[in-house]
Amino acid sequence: MKLDHIAVAVRDLEEAITHLRDALGMETVHTEEVPGQKARIGFIPLGNTNLELVQPTDPASGLAKFIEQRGEGLHHICLEVRDIQGSLKHCEEKGLALIDREPRVGAHNKRVAFLHPRSTKGILVELCQP
């Protein structure tokens, strides 16, 4: 298991990219629209992992509500797994709360699935299979 990325909810993707790139000397490599998550994302490499900036494209989405209630900030972490179906089965057997029972398409066309933060110490966890 490894950390594929850590995601930050932002109101304005371009502004956030410019700000963080300038402030922290980071480089951007990739932006894309992810309809399955109702979001636009930007990936900034961090050396051993990535920072994902996520801007909601639908004001009714969970992400938009997150920003409304808590402001911009850390949103979720994404763990890369080898077998996402097997991992979801394992998580279910361990009593974790699944948001997605079946993988869906996420950024970079990877198969992704989310675990609910209520059974992971308040951490919204995304699993992804490369």
Q: What are the residues binding a copy of itself (CB under 8 A)?
A: 1-3, 6, 8-10, 16, 19-20, 22-26, 46-49, 53, 70-77, 79, 90-91, 94-96, 117, 119-125
Q: Which is nearer to a copy of itself, 30 or 70 (CB)?
A: 70
Q: Which is nearer to a copy of itself, 35 or 83 (CB)?
A: 83
* 8 CB-near residues (< 8 Å, 6+ apart): 16, 51, 52, 53, 54, 72, 73, 74, 75
Q: Tell me how far CA of residue 123 lies from CA of 95, 103, 116, in angstroms.
A: 15, 19, 8
List residues bridging with 2 in a β-sheet.
Answer: 80
- Compute the least distance from the CB of residue 88 to a copy of itself, in Å: 12
- Compute the least distance from the CB of residue 14 to a copy of itself, in Å: 13
Q: Which is nearer to a copy of itself, 96 or 108 (CB)?
A: 96
Q: Which is nearer to a copy of itself, 1 or 60 (CB)?
A: 1
- C-alpha neighbours within 13 Å on the C-beta side of residue 67: 19
